[in-house]
Amino acid sequence: MSHTITVQFPGTERRHTVHTGIHVNGEWIDLPATFDVVDPATGVAFASVSDGTAAHAQAALDAASAAQASWGEIAPRARADILHAFHQLLAERADAFSDVMVLESGKPRADAEGEMVLALDFVRWLAEKAAHVHGSFSRASRGDFRIITTLQPVGPSLLVSPWNFPVLIPARKAAAALAAGCTAIMKPAAQTPLTSALLMQTLIDAGLPAGVMNLVPTTRAAELSERLMQDRRLRKVSFTGSVGVGSLMMRQASREIMSVQLELGGNGPFIVLEDADIENAVAQAIAAKFRNAGQACVAANRIILHRAIAAEFTERFVDRTRALVVGPGHRPGVDVGPMISQTQREAIAGTIQAIVGDHAEVLLGGKPIGGDGYFFEPTVLQMHDTAPDFSCQELFAPVAPLFTVDSVDEAVAFANDTDYGLAGYLFTTDVSRAVTISERLDVGMVGVNRGLMADPAAPFGGVKSSGLGREGGHHALDEFMETKYIALTTG
């Protein structure tokens, strides 16, 4: 049996009970080994969570494998009903999820609420899709038999989520796997395990059978994945995280020819052309850059300005950035919370120090903020050149580098000059240019005249080193299904 903790949201009377164990085969289990969960706004641990091992992950796979046949064969409407119940309970518990996210990840309460809304949208979309999975029936090309295709669940799946979107990413992975008829093991980020524990309990309360979904928080993620991915019963890995880890997991998956879905890093170009609506471009750049303190794979990583509008954009952007309020996520009116760790904060401070002078000028910010927690000043850099070592890396910080170009061709070439290819942004009032330039960008997603683009009806994912596969749209279920072909002779 697992212990629970009660967490209180600062400055309120709201208290929430959260399990701190692992969940395997329908049971919460406490482990003797634990790890701390730290509030990045204070640097202080506020909870301890069971630290799962490879053996616990193996037990979770045993449970998922045993439950796969019955869950895969259950009526699609019955799966949909459970997911609709899950959606309803998530909506009723939105305050708990938002509060716990703020405490674990540091994000402002408004951002947590927005993430919760999007997570609910994805779960509802996938619940609606669950009962509407269709194959096909047609004549063979020679007309002598019939071609039947049917979609079947790929099988037990490993769902690995990052810390920066603690409810959105685990919820949409879990809902897609369950809607497709797959059992699964959730492996949350060590920084944000409590939100996943709330998700797990909500699935249980929605009526999910034992063993269908299992939860193993851990600080030994490499050991868990190594053990699980040697087991041929595991048939799918859905991973969101760094390119380095994603590449390793892809190699591990190759041994058993396992299906892999990867959503990895980004180096988002944010291109503003000379005919853009500057006020809108500035507002959208603020959202695309500083949401979640810049700690998002789809963040605007390189703001690329046509020289004709560069001065005006820069002045407005610096003014808007200066007005951002930095502070703990629970405090009303905060726009930018802390970075996730002291290590992350030190890394970006070192990066800025290394490029300022020869490659860049600090227009605003540029330093860590003293006191408790892992806060960093919202920063704007005027880049003197492309500084390849800097412009080719994912910043994952509230730091906005501004680059100036003289033509569309130069903007596109610089935008594409990276191993990443997740999200890009383009600002122009010419619809024809919007389409043709979007097609030239080597990214999986383009936001035209907008800085936020996630939607459950749309495919989310990247190209090149940013990953494989898509989450969202009809692609979400396709990722967790195999197509079977039946050749039927009718006599």
Q: Name 392's Cβ contacts closer than 8 Å, sequence gap at least 6.
A: 267, 417, 418, 419
User: Which of 104, 115, 182, 263 does the annotation list as catalytic?
Assistant: 263
Strand order in the sheet with 184-187: 27-29, 22-24, 213-215, 184-187, 157-160, 236-240, 259-263, 467-468
Question: Which amino acid would we find at residue 108?
Answer: P
Secondary structure (H, E, C), the chain: CCCEEEEECCCCCCEEEEECCEEECCEEECCCCEEEEEECCCCEEEEEEECCCHHHHHHHHHHHHHHHHHHHHCCHHHHHHHHHHHHHHHHHCHHHHHHHHHHHHCCCHHHHHHHHHHHHHHHHHHHHHHCCCCCEEEECCCCCCEEEEEEEECCCEEEECCCCCCCHHHHHHHHHHHHHCCCEEEECCCCCHHHHHHHHHHHHHCCCCCCCEEECCCCCHHHHHHHHCCCCCCCEEEEECCHHHHHHHHHHHHCCCCEEEEECCCCEEEEECCCCCHHHHHHHHHHHHHHHHHCCCCCEEEEEEEHHHHHHHHHHHHHHHHCCCECCCCCCCCCECCCCCHHHHHHHHHHHHHHECCCEEEEECCCECCCCCCCECCEEEEECCCCHHHHCCCCCCCEEEEEEECCHHHHHHHHHCCCCCCEEEEECCCHHHHHHHHHHCCCCEEEECCCCCCCCCCCECCCHHHEECCECCCHHHHCCEEEEEEEECCC
For residue 336, count other CB atoms closer than 10 A to its CB: 25
CA pair distance 91, 126, nearest whole angstrom: 15
Q: How far apart are CA 37 and CA 481, in angstroms?
A: 35
Q: Does residue 263 carry a catalytic annotation?
A: yes
Q: Which of 104, 115, 297, 377 is catalytic?
A: 297
- 120, 93 Cβ separation under 8 angstroms: no
182 is catalytic: no
Enumerate the active-site residues: 263, 297
